[in-house]
Every structure is written in structure tokens, then in C-alpha cells.
Amino acid sequence: MPSGRPAAASPPSGPPPKLALKGIAKRFGSVAAVDGLSLELAAGEFVSLLGPSGCGKTTTLRMIAGFMPPDAGTVEVDGAVLSSPGACVPPERRGMSMIFQSYAVWPNMTVAENVAFGLKLRRTPADERARRVKEMLETVRLSALAGRYPAELSGGQQQRVALARAMIVQPAVLLLDEPLSNLDANLREEMRFEIRRLHEAFRTTTVYVTHDQAEAMVTSDRIAVMNGGRIEQLDSPEDLYSRPRTRFVAGFIGRTNFITGSAAGEQVAFPGFTVPRACLNGAAAGQASQLYSVRPQNLRLSAHPPPGGAAAARPGGAAAGGPGACAAPGRIVQRAYLGEHWDYLVRLDGAEEPLRVTALPQQRFDTGAAVWVEIDPAHLVPIA
């Protein structure tokens, strides 16, 4: 494993994991699609595999589902090995349900018949089947559409049918492979919350594959950010965003600025400003330089320096923010109005690369305007 890349974390200690991936690997010729990946999910947990195309997330999901065996490692559910290099339990015997990118609902069946399909295959008695279908349709808010055919439904309604059909059989693990990719932007946003609502209702152990960070942030208990067939970081959505550990994670989860601080005695010098070493996380003694990430929305713009603000701050100074907060002068070099906010590029005095700063719609500055950027060291996150 390359240096600086942390090992995958596990759920808090407690009951044994529901699903455990132990060092699984898959190669296609000379390409390592999945490279020694380990991951554990507690019962009822929702974990997303998030990353760009080619990072190995779908290959990982297919190994969990049993569509392909691993070249190394094991896939286990409740301690039982389902996949290993020498043996692989077929998908239909794993007690899992999978939802693909396409809706894959039967066009010649009504909504109720689609939802009942898995129960019928399992020879569930007719009266119990009818009861469970009725309850499921109520949960996914499709009761009024029970007699309709898929061609009469919207994309979002068809996706809810697919979710209902997958969940009604009470799978040990629910697998979702980019299920919202065929929906338009508004429907995708609506369905993110719908998927989370249904998870909270049923608490099915779920693995969700997506390249869309917003989907992962809304739906997940934890997110595994993948890169090059490995997990770069596994954390809660909030911790991933506010405390990324690697440059890849910081850049993939939202937008950020990368700046390097150089130690100079008790101060750390950044391009355009300095911060007391004691106010920074990760400014270890003897460390000559450190890369930091700071989110655009964690920087503040003002037309005038705040009281006590200066390019070189002192702990507990009067500038806005926490201890060591400072304000540095600069100029607007580019701006874009995005409706909900302004997106500014600001070049600090003495800096070569501009900082991206997000500001409220009413904070309007012209290109070329002199401004002050307020920086709170608490938001400077050290990056491996």
C-alpha cells in the first residue's frame, strides 16, 4: 500500500459483522481492479462505496453478490464464507437482493405483481404474500398505483417498485449499483432521501455503489472512498468532509483549497499569511512543511479588515473565528454567481495561487476589488 494511505476502518467493537470483506482482490489481466480490500458492515448498517469510474467499486459489489469469485480473500456473511478463490456460493443462494442501474421491473406485471414476485418464487402462502405486499406498497407510498403497469409510472415510481421488490424478501444484504443514474437531477435528489427513509424503516444491511458524493452523503451511515482498487478512507459523511486524510479524499469529497504551510519557529507561514504553530492541527515539531486543506465555505470575505485582523495573527487575537484566526489582504481575480452563493477566486498578497471562497449572494464584490480573507486555523486540515 502506498505511503500515506490509511487502512480501512471497522465498525465499533460489538457484535460480529453482518458482512465482512477480508482482503479481497480481483485482477483483469495486468490491471488490479480490487487490491486487497477489507471492509466490515454491522447488521443494519448502510455503507456506500464512492469513487470515480474505474476505482473498483462495482467489481467489489459484484464479488459480494457472487457474480464473480475473488482472486484472493473472502466474502463472509454472519461468519459464513460465501466467496473465496476456490469456491463461490451462487448469487441465488446468498440471501441477497440487488438493484441495478436499470429499473429491471417486469413490464407485463402490475406494480403489486412486481413487488410480489420474489415472495412467489419463495412459495410464500398467498394470504401472507398479499399482506406483505400491501404493507410494502404503503411503506414505499405506491398503494394507489398497485394495479398500474411500469409503462404508466414515472422513473422515480419505477425505482420505488424495484426497491420494494428487493426489500420485501427481507434480504440478508441489499446491494445497489448506481440505482439513480437513469433519473433526472430533481428525481435523483428526491430518491436519495427516499432511499434513506426506507433504510431507516427496514434497517437492512446495505452496500450502495455510486460516483455521486451527494447520494453517498445523504444515504450512508459510513462512506468508503475508493481509489485504485483500495479504500482511501472509511468514515461517516461528516468526518469525511470535515477531516479528510488524503489529498484524493479532500479533492473528491466537495471542493477545497490545498495550501502548504512551512514551519518558521513558533509560526507556520502560508502563502499570504501566517498562523501560530500551536493553533494548527498536524504542525508537528521539526516538520518543515505540511499540506493543508481548507474548504471554500470556511473562508470569509470582507471589504475591510476585521478589528485586530492582520496578515500575521496572534493566539486569541481580535479577528473573527477561534484562537489564532487571522485576516489576509487580497484581490478578487474571478467570480461566478451560482444563485445560492457567489464563487470567488481571491489572490492573497504575496501568493501565486488564488484561493476559492464561497460567499452569500448579498456579498457582492467586483473583479479586481481589494478584499480581506478571514482564516480560522481550526478549518485548516492536515493532509497526508
**CATH code of the domain containing 373:** 2.40.50.140
pLDDT tens per residue across span 55-66: 999 999 999 999
pLDDT tens per residue across span 114-163: 999 999 989 999 999 999 999 999 999 999 999 999 999 988 899 889 99
pLDDT value of position 134: 94
Same domain? For 162 and 240 the reply is yes
pLDDT at residue 43 above 90? yes
pLDDT at residue 102 above 80? no
pLDDT tens per residue across span 28-41: 999 999 999 999 99
Same domain? For 88 and 216 the reply is yes
- Is 44 a domain residue? yes
Same domain? For 217 and 271 the reply is no
Same domain? For 171 and 115 the reply is yes
Say how far apart CA 17 and CA 205 lie, in whole Å: 10
Residue with cell 451527494: 214
Same domain? For 218 and 330 the reply is no
Under a CB-based contact definition with an 8 Å cutoff, are residues 205 and 227 in contact? no
Record the cell numbers describing residue 30, joined without a space.
495486468
Say how far apart CA 368 and CA 231 lie, in whole Å: 42
Same domain? For 86 and 197 the reply is yes
Which pTM was predicted? 0.86
Same domain? For 296 and 211 the reply is no
pLDDT tens per residue across span 209-219: 999 999 999 99
Residue 264: partners with Cβ closer than 8 Å, 6 or more residues away: 274
Phi, psi of 93 (to 5 degrees): -110, 15
pLDDT value of position 6: 41
**Cβ burial, residue 99 (10 Å; 0-12/13-18/19+):** buried
Same domain? For 244 and 338 the reply is no
pLDDT value of position 266: 85
Residue at which a domain ends, from 218, 252, 286 = 252
Same domain? For 190 and 295 the reply is no
Same domain? For 356 and 332 the reply is yes
Same domain? For 124 and 87 the reply is yes
pLDDT bin (cut points 50, 70, 90) of residue 222 is very high
The dihedral of CA 145, 148, 153, 157: what is its sign? positive
- Is 9 a domain residue? no
Domain of residue 229, residue span: 19-252
User: From edge to edge, which strands make up the β-sheet containing 80-84?
Assistant: 31-41, 19-28, 72-77, 80-84, 87-88
**DSSP structure string for 248-313:** HHHHHSS--EEEEEEEETTEEEETTEEEEGGGSTT--TT--EEEEEE-GGGEEEESSPPTT--SB-
Residue at which a domain ends, from 230, 252, 274 = 252
- Is 7 a domain residue? no
Nearest to 383 by CA among 255, 276, 250: 250
pLDDT value of position 313: 41
- Is 327 a domain residue? yes
Torsion of CA 347, 349, 352, 358, to 10 degrees: -20
What's the whole-number mean pLDDT along residues 276-298? 81
Residues in a beta bridge with 174: 97, 206
What's the whole-number mean pLDDT along residues 174-194? 89
> Please, what's the b/e burial string for 114-129 (b: 16 or more CB within 10 A of its CB; e: otherwise)?
bbbbbbeeeebeeeeb
Q: What percent of the chain has pLDDT over 70?
A: 90
The dihedral of CA 63, 68, 71, 73: what is its sign? positive
Number of domains in the chain: 2
Say how far apart CA 211 and CA 225 lie, in whole Å: 10
Any idea what the CATH number is for the domain that residue 96 is in? Answer: 3.40.50.300
Residue at which a domain ends, from 202, 232, 252 = 252
Say how far apart CA 158 and CA 291 lie, in whole Å: 46
- Is 210 a domain residue? yes
pLDDT at residue 7 above 50? no
Same domain? For 371 and 274 the reply is yes
- Is 46 a domain residue? yes
- Is 2 a domain residue? no
- Is 114 a domain residue? yes
